[in-house]
Structure 1
Amino acid sequence: MNMLALRYGDDLIVIDAGMMFPEAELLGVDIVIPDITYLKENRDAVRAIILTHGHEDHIGALPYILRDLNVPIYGTRFTLALVHKRLEEHALLEQADLREVLPGRTVEVGPFEIEFIYVTHSTIDCVALAVRTPLGVVIHSGDFKMDPTPSDQQPFDLHAFARYGHEGVLALFSDSTNIERPGYTPSERAVWPRIEELCRAAPRKVLVSCFASSIHRIQQVVDIAATVGRKIGFVGRSMVDNVEIAHSLGYLRIPDGMVVRAQDLKSFDPKKLTVLVSGSQAEPMSSLSRVAVDSHRLLSVEETDTVILSARIIPGNEKAIFRMLDHMFRRRALVYYDNSNGVIHVSGHASQEEQKLLLNLVRPRYFIPIHGEYRQLFRHAALAHQVGAVSGEVLLLEDGQPVEFTAEGAYRREPVPAGRVCVDSGSLEEIEEVVIRDRKHLSEDGVVVPIIAIDKHTGKLESLPEIVSRGFLPSENGHEVLNGARDVVLRTVEQSNPEEKMDWSVIKEKIRVDLKRYLNKQTSKRPLILPVILEV
């Protein structure tokens, strides 16, 4: 997820507001957004949110932060159309101030003059930002690659970067995602030959799965289907939504009469059908995941159907994706998921040679690598040193680390609150770290509930303690350990004085401490212990 704050005096702009999906250990968390404590503390200074493009890791947090920061949002046409859809879903559209910008044009926000520079990426309508400040020009690359033959014929604006490099650039913030890849990232057009070959050779229907925001890829699949005499279908909410948005704005060209309605896909001649399906990362309950196990009402995979996974396998998703592909293989489908026999996917991020070219074009005084894991930022910084195009300093920053630029130099300042906020998208409520910790605790060691009934007048036990456990001790000696736990609870209560027995909070804590010590000694586990006292 991506977010950067740029401040001059009492004016502040925010560049991007992304989200990410949770890692496996974040149990019960739906999405993760940036911690905006600093922005809330300085909300009177925030003038606008500027968006570079429409990927979720750059716009996904907007519905969650606009409640605290309802400021104008600037973006290109397609990016704002995606934002419009998200805000509409969260009933926030009426109060939002969306301002469309065109690549090559400038807008003024407070003391900032911002030029939107067209760049190529894996989606459309992407821009870098050249922010003119009283101290100099700051360039934010956004996500980019230098595609010499983009499928929409909108080239990367090398001239704008060169113009600013000639004028002089104070600082360059640049995407580091593909810094570990040598050479150049292939053009989007590189996928056409192999996908066309597979579609021509396919004995039955063809299923292609890619990211729903990859409009260039979707356009090529539509064009290939038309070339080989097939009709096209679209399955999956995000796929259908993005196709409708791109088509309505004129970014996606689909010949009349070519689209097969979703409800007609199962009955349509499979030899003349190509279907674009969302869910390339095998997200739970995504369309492709359900198709793989034959639980989708509109689409199924049959023997000799062709399945093309035209998307990068994002680290962390490997197990789920390969499990999904296994189901396809079991159904005797023809499955293609890597570039080993021809290119079916290319990245949208710049590789090392493109990064070198950008550095040489811009020749900034200061360089700050962004958008990557720390090792990628480190390697990008090393590449900048190697190129030698940075006249001042290369700054390697952690999240929350401010840097102040002055006429004399660049200085690191005291860190500000930053990091992640876990959100339950159903309730839009933030989930505290202690809740995540408890969930992890429960998943690993289970829960033990000692239940005792005490006479509220005399403080005496009315019956022997009961021990209820879940997710704890499946082994053979489980009953023996729980019988011992019952004895520990009984002994703790009997050894407590009358005042302790009458104070439920004290007796609960004593039971919890004694039982925790006993269970840890017996099992080396630390289950969550929740004593329950019944008054009788």
Structure 2
Amino acid sequence: MSTPTLRVLPLGGLGEIGKNMTVVELDDRIIIVDVGLRFPTAEMVGIDLVLPDFSYLRDRIDDIEAIVVTHGHEDHLGALPWILRDLKTQDIPIYGGPLTMAMARSKLDEHRLRDVECIDTKDGERYQIGPFELEMVHMTHSIPDASAVVLRNAAGTVLFTGDYKFDQTPVDGNPADIARLAEIGKEGVTLLCGDSTNVDRAGWSLSESVAGPHLEEVFSRCDGRIIVTCFASNIHRVQQVVDAAAALNRKVALIGRSMKKNTNIGKSLGHIDLPDGIQIQPREIDQFPDHKVVVVSTGSQGEPLSALRRMAYKDHHQVQLKKGDTIVFSATPIPGNERAVNETVDRLYEMGCTVITTKDAPIHASGHGYAEEVKLMLNLTKPTYVMPFHGDHKRIQMHADLAEAVGVPAANIFKGENGKPLQIDGKGARFVDKVQSGVIYVDGVDLGEEADAALRDRRMLAGDGIFVVVATISEQTGESVADPEVIFRGVPYSVDEEQLIDEIRDGVDASLIQAAKDGVHDLDALQSILHDDLAALVFKKLKRRPMVMPVVVEV
């Protein structure tokens, strides 16, 4: 009897923070763990979302048994509707905790994918899904219903920690199930895929319950309005803000679509309690004295379309910030978002607001365990093989070092990357040939590949502008018969405008004359020659590379 072959293929989340997605494959049957996204960086002009490249799955739809989601954060759940839309299927069941599935149903409903089966899992129960047996193990994170995923199969047991910390005093009083993790470790874990986000921080993470009293202390020192920004999915943090506001007799307004939606979902499932009369609508904010109002807003990561970002740029129709407002950042920037957050903070200072961040007071506790918690996970589960997940290359290396420090042989630690499958069979574990991976961009409602020329064009337009040159030539001779029309938009220049246009027109004429001498009459060839000649001329004059678009018209 042949030994079954297990492949664990990360499509996102390795070498980066965000868009976590992993394909687990046993003899051509597939379970997908997490379907996350990340938000665009500043240079991704006009892009709304960044998804993992899941083209590997497009020809394997019938092989997919299920999608399992560890928790409801966007970097683990957010790509779900986009992937199902692209695969043109609603027949793949989705498994996850009740809050996670409530958030999934909300997302799917927005995309009119109402026939997808979302199955609420219960921690500790086992679910047979094709050749896999699924078990969810309760973990603590910055959102309720976070779970580790255990996939038992004929080739061994794979454990995905998801995002976790070992918080002994969580806000909901329900710490991670350390005992169950130890039991699973005794049963035998073949491969551990562990969270690496905070492996670079020594010691133990702060308990989430620490943030609440410090928020109240900060609020007590504020005379004007308070605007708190945090992750919309951090329901425990929203509860602590509400509790602090209630203690100081302030009203609470929720700003941002995702903030309102997630809070309502949390209320319906009993994860958040809003005392009667404490919540006001955004339109009612100005009806109360400033010292009686707390606003809870999205935008802690400086996201371009978030509520706080729009407030900072005076573009929010409901909240106009002013001198005397205190902005409380109850979150830390995700690696890569520091620039956007700093820009937002600077704008707030310019407006005369007081800004309080985690550097000023302990008003945030990370949802990811520090180095000692990563060691504890390794010692509890005692895996044969370790594959660090959820981190950039630095953190993956540091996680590998921690695994080796607690006794995992170096040969059994696999520092992976997106698109590189780890294969486990009778011969052991090893990396095999890479598959296509990368990113897919969401622009509005459309998906585009990473190599999409439109994105390159946007970067060029945003950076250096555009030249459009219309040349009219004789059909017989190929020479110019009218002055070329020159249009430029967004081009920074320090020379005289009329002189620049004259030189470009002279350049067009010279290029056309030379092309006519060379016997070039094909319009596409002429436009290509004009493009190259004009691009060189413009760079010589401006030391910039704007987009050059020549148009040749025959008469």
Q: TM-score range by the shorter chain?
A: over 0.9
TM-score, with structure 2 as normaliser? 0.90
1:250 to 270, 276, 280: 270
Amino acid at match of 1:507: L
C-alpha distance in structure 1 between counterparts of 2:499 and 2:103, whole Å? 59
1:75 to 89, 96, 106: 96
1:265 matches 2:285 = yes
1:366 aligns with 2:397: no
Q: Which has the higher contact order (CA 8 A, sep 6+)?
A: 2
Whole-Å separation in 1 of the counterparts to 2:339 and 2:432: 41
Residues 28-177 of structure 1 aligned to structure 2 (within 5 Å)? 28-67=46-85, 68=87, 69-70=89-90, 71-92=92-113, 94-177=114-197
Amino acid at match of 2:495: E
Match of 1:313 among 330, 333, 346: 333
Q: Distance in 2 between matches of 1:237 and 1:179?
A: 33
**2:210 pairs with one of 173, 183, 190:** 190
Q: What's 1:449 paired with?
A: 468
Superimposed CA distance per residue, residues 422-446 of structure 1 (whole angstroms, 9 cap, x where no aligned partner): 1212445557432222222333343
Task: Sort the Cα spacing of 1:56 and 1:486 in 2 relative to 1 into closer, same or farther, 3 A.
Answer: same
- Check 1:261–1:24 CA distance in 2 against 1; reply closer, same or farther (3 A cut): closer
Of residues 11, 18, 21 in structure 1, which corresponds to 2:29? 11
Tell me whether 1:414 sits opposite 2:433 in the alignment.
Answer: yes
Given that 1:359 and 1:390 are in contact with CA atoms closer than 8 Å, whether structure 2 keeps it comes out as no
Q: Deviation string for 1:256-314 (max 9, x for gaps)? A: 22222332221123333322222222323422233345554433445444332111123
TM-score by length of 1: 0.93
Contact 1:366 1:391 in 2 (8 A): no
Aligned 8 A contact 1:363 1:391 in 2 = no
Structure 1 contact 424–430 (Cα < 8 Å) conserved: no
How much does 1:187 deviate? 0.4
Q: Is the 8 A contact 1:16 1:58 kept in 2?
A: yes
Q: 1:445 to 1:269 in 2, by over 3 A?
A: closer
- Measured on the aligned residues, the alpha-carbon RMSD in Å equals 2.3
Q: Which moved more, 1:406-415 or 1:3-12?
A: 406-415
Query: How many residues are aligned here?
Result: 534
Which residue in the other structure is 2:523 paired with? 504
**Alignment-mate amino acid for residue 17 of structure 1:** V
Aligned to 2:534: 515
Aligned residue identity for 1:15: V
Runs of 5+ unmatched residues, structure 1: none
Distance 1:210 1:179 in 2: 23
Q: Which deviations, in whole Å up to 9, do the C-alpha atoms of 1:380-408 show, x marking residues without a partner?
A: 11111111145960001111001110122
Partner SS, residue 114 of structure 1: strand
2:421, 2:53 → 1: CA distance? 15
2:137–2:149 contact (8 Å) kept in structure 1: yes
Does 1:219 pair with 2:233?
A: no
CA distance 1:263–1:511, shift in 2 (3 Å): closer
Which of 25, 44, 50 is the equivalent residue of 2:43?
A: 25
Shift of 1:193: 2.1
* CA positional deviation for 1:178: 0.5
Equivalent pair of 1:424/1:431 in contact (CA under 8 Å): no
Which residue identity lines up with residue 438 of structure 2 in the other structure? Answer: G
Matches within 5 A, 1:279-290: 279-290=299-310
Q: Aligned match of 1:349 in 349, 368, 378?
A: 368
Q: Kindly indicate whether the alpha-carbon contact (under 8 Å) linking 1:364 and 1:390 is maintained by their aligned counterparts in 2.
A: no
Which range is displaced more, 410-419 or 387-396? Answer: 387-396
Unaligned runs of 5+ in 2: 1-18
Of 188-197 and 204-213, deviating more is 204-213
Q: Which amino acid is the alignment partner of residue 400 of structure 2?
A: A
The 2-side partners of 1:153 and 1:382 are apart by 33
**What secondary structure is seen at the aligned counterpart in 1 of 2:174?**
coil
Q: Which moved more, 1:470-479 or 1:205-214?
A: 470-479
Q: After the TM superposition, which of the residue ranges 467-476 and 293-302 deviates more from structure 2?
A: 293-302
Letter in 1 for 2:465: G
Judge conservation of contact 2:438–2:450 (CA < 8 Å) in 1: no
1:455-475 C-alpha deviation (Å, 9 max, x unpaired): 335544321333333344511
Query: Which whole-Å CA distance do the structure 1 matches of 2:410 and 2:479 have between them?
Result: 80
Offset at residue 350 of structure 1 (A): 0.9
Q: CA, structure 1 residues 511+190, in 2 after alignment: closer, same or farther (shift >3 Å)?
A: same
Residues 162 and 466 from structure 1, CA distance in 2 versus in 1: closer, same or farther, beyond 3 angstroms? same
